Structure 1
């Protein structure tokens, strides 16, 4: 029964973390489109970005810790052949953590007024978590290797 609770909370925290991963780069798109001199709009978007980053960052850690519990304590993907999927998944989660810290760096650039990228670049940047999600879900459900 404990396994089901750990798995349930892991899924809940991953979904909440991903909500922030989906929306924070959209704020970057909007920030990149703010006309010069529109300080109220820029300040509002920066406030939203800071709050969302903080909230998302907090949600990331329980998702990771519970995932590690499932992996290391309950042995998911630790034993036997055909467990290459878990190593790929863990690598992709590491990429998501790097993405989170990249978002923090981008947010600081907007705060300092040093952003040089266009809204189009941020639209593509926004797709990275989606691509990773489309890889992770089949890995976990199908366990192809």
Structure 2
């Protein structure tokens, strides 16, 4: 490396820096704007949900493409890297933030009451289960042990969408 070249931080480091900044902003909001912290928590929760869903919608699409290439091929190795980074750098932290702030918001804003909220939490548990299923798939693909077809992953690609639609309707409409 020449004297003019600079080593750049990897994607994991950049993601951790982003999470640290988000956490610091949340702490500052709680300290300096305690009466508005609920709104700040809600905003950060929504940002985390969007990031989680973006990853949950993209990961099974990567699986579709990955299932169609030969094991050990350069394309397969690229997909392994993409899947692992997406899961570890975006999806896992976003899900964690979603759960932590979501539970706090449910307690602070609704005292865990309302049938719509109970159903929403149940569906978020289902989304988390799907997240676990996708996490296992990332591991199996990394070990060249995927046994699922591209068709299976095309079908699984729809599951997060369906869950997300029902969850959003519950939150906005609060039907019961």
TM-score normalized by structure 1?
A: 0.91
Q: 1:37 to 1:127 in 2, by over 3 A?
A: closer
Q: Deviations over 1:18-46 (max 9, x none)?
A: 11001011110011111x36610000000
Kindly name which structure, 1 or 2, has the bigger radius of gyration based on alpha carbons. Answer: 2
Q: What is the alpha-carbon distance in structure 1 between the residues aligned to residue 144 and residue 120 of structure 2?
A: 36
For 1:114, the equivalent position in structure 2 comes to 145
Q: What is the alpha-carbon distance in structure 2 between the residues aligned to residue 21 and residue 111 of structure 1?
A: 18
Q: What is the alpha-carbon distance in structure 2 between the residues aligned to residue 58 and residue 107 of structure 1?
A: 16
**Could you tell me how far 1:111 is from its partner in structure 2?**
1.7
Question: 1:50 is matched with which residue: 80, 84, 87?
Answer: 84
Gaps in structure 1 of 5+ consecutive residues: none
Gaps in structure 2 of 5+ consecutive residues: 1-35
Q: How does 1:81-92 map to 2 (within 5 A)?
A: 83-92=114-123
Question: 2:54 is matched with which residue: 19, 29, 37?
Answer: 19
Could you say what the CA RMSD is over the residues aligned between the two structures, in angstroms?
A: 1.3
Q: Does residue 78 of the first structure (1) align with residue 109 of the second (2)?
A: no
TM-score normalized by structure 2?
A: 0.76
Q: 1:119 to 1:58 in 2, by over 3 A?
A: same
Is residue 56–residue 131 contact of structure 2 (8 Å, CA) maintained in 1? yes
**Could you tell me how far 1:63 is from its partner in structure 2?**
1.0
Q: What is the alpha-carbon distance in structure 1 between the residues aligned to residue 64 and residue 75 of structure 2?
A: 13
Is residue 29–residue 122 contact of structure 1 (8 Å, CA) maintained in 2? yes
**Could you tell me how far 1:4 is from its partner in structure 2?**
0.9
**Could you tell me how far 1:3 is from its partner in structure 2?**
1.3
For 1:141, the equivalent position in structure 2 comes to 172
Is residue 77–residue 86 contact of structure 1 (8 Å, CA) maintained in 2? no
**Could you tell me how far 1:124 is from its partner in structure 2?**
0.4
Name the SS of the counterpart of 1:109 in structure 2: helix
Over 4 Å off, 4+ runs: none
Name the SS of the counterpart of 1:113 in structure 2: coil
Q: What is the alpha-carbon distance in structure 1 between the residues aligned to residue 79 and residue 50 of structure 2?
A: 23
For these two proteins, the number of residue pairs brought into alignment is: 140
